[in-house]
Amino acid sequence: MGLNVFQKIVAAHRAGSGNAAGVVPLKVDQVLTQDATGTMVYLQFEAIGLKRIKVPLAVSYVDHNTLQVDSRNPDDHRYLQTAAARFGAWFSPAGNGICHQLHLENFARPAQILLGSDSHTPTCGGMGMLAIGCGGLDIAAAMAGFPYELPRPRVRRIRLKGRLRKPWVTAMDVSLELLRRLTVRGGVGWVLEYDGPALSRLSLTERATICNLGAELGATSSLFPSDLVTREFLKARGREKEWRELTADRDAAYDEELEVDLGRLEPLTAQPFSPDNVVPLKDLEGLRVDQVCIGSCSNSSYEVLRAVAQLVKGKAVAPHLNLLINPGSRQVVGSLAADGSLPSLISAGARVLEASCGPCIGMGGAPPYDGVSFRSYNRNFKGRSGTPNARVFLVNPLAGALLALEGQVVDPLRYPLRLPAPPRSRTTMGREPLLQAPPRKAAGLEIIRGPNIKPIPRKKPVPEDFQAEVLIRLGDHVTTDDILPGGSEVLPFRSNIPAISHYTFSRLDPTFAERARQAGGGLIAGGENYGQGSSREHAALAPMFLGIQAVLAKSFARIHLNNLINYGILPLTFEDPEDYQGLKQGDRLTFQGVRKSIKKAAILKVRIGDRETIRLRPQVTANKVEVLLAGGLLPYLRKRINNQ
Ligand code: MIC
Ligand code: SF4
């Protein structure tokens, strides 16, 4: 039997035989971090106690916290820059661009494995690279040379046929169509592997867009083969030598298959407040639009922004509306300036922001009160834009540009669209000049810390018996933005856990942090897919700091589940989902024989007050049992390194 692309990459990277729990240990080639998660990664790496990064390539990007209203964010940037030099990572300063776009342009390589402390790391899957988003501690462990233990996913083949025939339909609509069909849980436990006759007509950046939005499906990763399109992209960047072909064997087997006919797609939109709440854009005709945002790591390539510039050239955005553009990289901006696109955008009224995450993570660019914002981004969770009652829709960048001109939703298919073909021979871009390679000699280099950078709190080992109160009971699909919001007020505390912990659940229940503190800890109860969205480990770290001992849920999102274990918080699912219905805020639960049960992978019988006993299943694979019981990955790794 032949192999699919995923299996080929795994076979070439196995680091040992794995264990019965279906976990594959993998050798990691590259890691990426961004500033909002990266300060923790480097603090953790320091705490592990090694002198030099052991993974072949590490890149530390600054792209999230670029608003500098006081010294906290720039202090973090300086810490990251000096830590990168000292430990041996490349550094990408603020203004260079968004980590995923930059990584694709400068470092991604077919057939390699990339781990990133950001959930959209799979963007580089467009290059035929197995790219996986994980929590910061997993990245720190990989940097310390430990293999990455991947719970074996199933592989779903997504066969793309036809071609994007209708104007106004882009790669983003392929992803919105998948979200419509599969929902935000549809990819959990899966790698999505794309192939089919439409592939040769999809550019590398279109492929990257599709892989980027795979994160919204909850997928472990998304992957395209590496073919001639991949070679062209690498060649244009002077990296042709890094190309190698990687395709699935003809007789490769998959766990499931699905087909999308690109020719049948129309422009779609995801309505508030979930990326899978998808309808045809034309269904919303007449809705007044206050803001359009184009860019982010989903849709900020040169090709996309050039097309947007051509669409608005010589026209003007509606006077009541704001068009914001956050390009993916400095080179994208440079190319737009060189070919005359930038003046077209600026004259049409676009506000061209610096190349960074910007409005996507609520770092500026919030919509007005009760506003309607259409974004070519990947997340439209409530409040993420910075305006809690704003309604955020996801849309492809071309349709978004049209709405900006019209000031309201229209059916794009009624408008002519003639875009000149992309330039045939693109100027070679080469590597982004402002990337900083690590110095060869690092001994003695100082790491500079600002006063806002606080040591990482540690947790004690999981106790055998304890009592705790349910502090909050939540519904399905709680996002990590709900648990710990982003935005310009909260993000500067990413390297200060005591301070950031005040914001835990602040949008859902502003009393939570104080109640948790007063109770000296407690429990969180949630429904399905608890912790979906971002990889931010702060959504586990801050609750850990507040003393949360366990999260009880119907099911968990992949990265967050791992983050809970990495911080020593028990992730437990209800054996009988009815028990979730019966549970109330304020219930006091008695846990006994916890460590014993976890070691035996046995169900925990937990008493609620003096009412009844419920059955909870620890969600921990055999390879993580010791990590969880030790109080998390940091105490566990320190012990291992000290014993070496
Ligand atoms: C996001 O899109 O939510 C982020 C901000 O990029 C996060 C990481 C973070 O919270 O720092 C992600 O997707 O992992
Ligand atoms: Fe940045 Fe938004 Fe992409 Fe996250 S999703 S990496 S915040 S651009």
User: Domains in the chain: how many in total?
Assistant: 3
Same domain, 203 and 342: no
Shortest-distance Cα residue to atom 2 of ligand 1: 534
Lowest mean pLDDT among 85-94, 315-324, 402-411, 423-432: 423-432
105-121 pLDDT, tens per residue? 999 999 999 999 999 99
Long-range contacts, 48-51 (Cβ 8 Å, 24+): 48/140, 48/141, 48/144, 48/634, 48/637, 48/638, 48/641, 49/638, 49/641, 50/87, 50/144, 50/145, 50/641, 51/87
Q: Which ligand is nearest to the CA of 377?
A: 2
Backbone angles phi, psi at 272, to 5 degrees: -60, 145
Q: In what order do the strands lie in the sheet with 113-116?
A: 90-92, 57-61, 30-34, 113-116, 130-133
- C-beta atoms surrounding 528 within 10 Å: 19
In a domain? residue 380: yes
- Residues 626 and 624: their CA atoms lie apart, in Å, by 6
Same domain, 103 and 127: yes
Residue 148 has pLDDT above 70, yes or no: yes
Of the chain, the percentage scoring pLDDT greater than 90 comes to 92
Does the Cβ of 376 fall within 6 Å of ligand 2? no
Query: Is residue 427 included in any domain, yes or no?
Result: no
Q: In this structure, are 64 and 99 located in the same domain?
A: yes
Q: How far apart are CA 132 and CA 114, in angstroms?
A: 6
User: And the tokens for 118?
Assistant: 């950001």
The answer, yes or no, to whether any atom of ligand 2 lies below 6 A from the CB of 361, is yes
DSSP letters, 257-283, are EEEEEGGG---EEEPTT-TT-EEEGGG
* 29 and 160 assigned to the same domain: yes
Task: Name the residue of 297, 375, 380, 536 whose CB sits within 8 Å of the most ligand 2 atoms, as the mutation to test its pocket.
Answer: 297
Mean pLDDT of the chain: 95
Tokens of 455: 């040591």
Identify the pLDDT of residue 420. Answer: 80
Type of residue numbered 181: R
User: Which of 65, 119, 378 for a ligand 1 pocket mutation test, highest count of atoms within 8 Å of Cβ?
Assistant: 119
Task: Among 244, 264, 284, identify where a domain stops.
Answer: 264
| Ligand with the closest atom to the CA of 118 | 1
What number of helices (H) and strands (E) belong to the chain? 22, 25
Q: What is the CA radius of gyration of the chain?
A: 24
Residues 240 and 302 in one domain: no
* pTM for this prediction: 0.96
| CA 508 to chain CA centroid, nearest Å | 22
Residue to substitute in 99, 118, 353 for testing ligand 2 pocket (most ligand atoms within 8 angstroms of CB): 118
pLDDT on residue 425: 45
* 278 & 258 share domain: no
Q: pLDDT tens digits for 238-279?
A: 999 999 999 999 999 999 999 999 999 999 999 999 999 999
- The Cα–Cα gap between 392 and 372 comes to 6
- Ligand closest to CA 100: 2
Question: Has residue 528 got a pLDDT over 80?
Answer: yes
Three-state secondary-structure class, residue 27 = coil
Segment 319-324 mean pLDDT: 98
Confidence class for position 143, pLDDT limits 50, 70, 90: very high
pLDDT tens digits, 553-592? 999 999 999 999 999 999 999 999 999 999 999 999 999 9
Residues 248 and 2: their CA atoms lie apart, in Å, by 8
CATH number, domain containing residue 561? 3.20.19.10
- The β-bridge partners of 608 are 589
- Minimum CA distance residue for ligand 2 atom 3: 297
Which amino acid appears at position 283 of this protein?
A: D
Query: For residue 424, what pLDDT band results from cuts at 50, 70 and 90?
Result: low
Whether residues 327 and 255 fall in one domain: no
Of all protein residues, whose CA lies closest to atom 2 belonging to ligand 2?
A: 360
Contacts of 311 (CB under 8 A, 6+ apart): 398, 401, 402, 405, 417, 419
pLDDT classification of 319: cutoffs 50, 70, 90: very high
Out of 414, 447, 482, a domain closes at 414
Task: Flag whether 626 is in a domain.
Answer: yes
Nearest residue by C-alpha to atom 10 in ligand 1: 536
- Residues 151, 21 share a domain: yes
Instruction: Check: CB of residue 168 under 8 Å from CB of residue 269.
Output: no
253 and 310 both lie in a single domain: no
pLDDT (tens digit, 9 = 90+) per residue, 634-643?
A: 999 988 877 7
* CATH for 289: 3.30.499.10
Structural domain includes residue 440: no
Confidence of residue 427 (pLDDT cuts 50, 70, 90): low
Structural contact between residues 295 and 305, judged by C-beta atoms closer than 8 angstroms: yes
Ligand 2 close to Cβ of residue 80 (< 6 A): no
Confidence of residue 451 (pLDDT cuts 50, 70, 90): very high
Residues spanned by the domain of 227: 5-264
2-44 pLDDT per residue, tens? 999 999 999 999 998 766 568 999 999 999 999 999 999 999 9
Contact between 508 and 502 (Cβ < 8 Å): no
378 lines ligand 2 (CB under 6 A): yes
What would the two tokens of residue 507 be? Answer: 């949008």
Any domain includes 439? no
Token output for 420: 């000149």
pLDDT digits (tens, 9 = 90+) for 464-511: 999 999 999 999 999 999 999 999 999 999 999 999 999 999 999 999
Return phi, psi of residue 632, to 5°.
125, 175
Distance 99 CA to ligand 2 centre (A): 8
DSSP string, 193-259: EEESTTGGGS-HHHHHHHHHGGGGGTBSEEE--B-HHHHHHHHHTT-GGG---B---TTB--SEEEE
Helix 330-338 vs helix 341-348: crossing angle, to nearest 10: 90
Closest CA to 60 of 96, 27, 31, 17: 31
pLDDT at residue 431 tops 90: no
* Per-residue pLDDT tens digits for 167-223: 999 999 999 999 999 999 999 999 999 999 999 999 999 999 999 999 999 999 999
